Amino acid sequence: MTDRYAIIGNPIAQAKSPALQMAFAKANGQDMEYGAILGEPGQFAEAIRKFQAEGGKGMNITMPFKLDAFEFADELTPRGRAAGAINMFTLRADGTVLGDNTDGFGIVRDITHNLGCQIRGRRVLLLGAGGAVRGTLLPLFAEAPAEVFIANRTASKAAELAQEFGKEAGATKLSGGGFADIPGGYDIIINGSASSMTNDVPPLSPDVWKAAALAYDMAYKKDPTAFVLAAKEAGVKQTADGLGMVVEQGAECFFLWRGIRPDTAPVIAALRAA
């Protein structure tokens, strides 16, 4: 029987996961189908149970259900628990559900594999202190950066997040504060704030940009985001948006479900061209 997978969200028409996963399946000879489910408010659990009862093997979860997924899962991976939100389920044969978050993996994979930018030993600035940044921290620590500073409009939220993850940072120096508290320039600047959704840029001092080899925006649009444009104007050597992250997090889901690491380069190129 053809294995079934799906993404659930509301709205759902804009989701790229069906096209991504079926491209991976075709390229790797996998007998699977991947659909989209429009989730109704208050009916998330019922939709998951129904899909699993019908033989579903796995699901992706998008807004506004990532927190519902966190509460629903029978078991969480360490990175899923750290993120506080879940973007994928593995639906097990015994009826239990494993929740994971592959977003942070996707960011790190895109930076290191696709963009060829080394994180190990470098100074990384994270902008924002919400779920996107939370999900990035553990995969980022695994690359052993020398330092990570979390900057947020509400300085206390960034400081609290740094304190919460202090034990996970290993040898990486981890701290947090407001945008005005950023101590000097950083090699890699990652924007995980909501600023790009409002065509805005976090208020960074010109000195913050000077050392940057890469400015990376988790958001992506048809045209360059305000953050990417600001980075280019500041003279940052390399800039990128989050399209590669979306593809790489989907590839990680495919790997966890099917045991095959798909080649993402053709998919990223096709989406970029479109």
Q: Which pLDDT score is estimated for 107?
A: 96
**Distance (Å, rounded) from C-alpha 218 to C-alpha 225?**
10
- Percent residues over pLDDT 90 in the chain: 86
> Which two three-digit tokens encode residue 22?
């079926």
> Which two three-digit tokens encode residue 108?
């790190």
**Distance (Å, rounded) from C-alpha 228 to C-alpha 226?**
6
Cβ burial of 16 (10 Å; 0-12, 13-18, 19+) is middle
Do the strands 75-76 and 97-100 form a parallel or antiparallel pair, or are they unpaired? Answer: parallel
Does residue 184 carry a pLDDT above 90?
Answer: no
Q: What is the pTM of this model?
A: 0.92
Which residues are catalytic, by number?
A: 66
Which pLDDT band, with edges at 50, 70 and 90, does 238 fall under? very high
Confirm if 64 and 36 have CB atoms less than 8 A apart. no
Q: Which pLDDT score is estimated for 16?
A: 87
- The domain made up of 3-101+244-273 is a member of CATH 3.30.67.10: no
Q: Residues annotated as binding site?
A: 62, 87, 103, 128-132, 152-157, 218, 220, 242, 249
**Distance (Å, rounded) from C-alpha 74 to C-alpha 88?**
13
Q: Which CATH number fits domain 104-241: 3.30.300.30, 3.40.50.720, 3.40.430.10, 1.10.3720.10?
A: 3.40.50.720
DSSP annotation string for 34-71: EEEEEPPTT-HHHHHHHHHHTTEEEEEE-TT-HHHHHH
- Percent residues over pLDDT 70 in the chain: 100
Candidate from 22-26, 49-53, 221-225 with smallest mean pLDDT: 221-225
Q: Residues annotated as binding site for NADP(+)?
A: 128-132, 152-157, 218, 242
What residue spans define the domains of the chain? 3-101+244-273, 104-241
Does residue 31 carry a pLDDT above 90?
Answer: yes
Which pLDDT band, with edges at 50, 70 and 90, does 131 fall under? confident
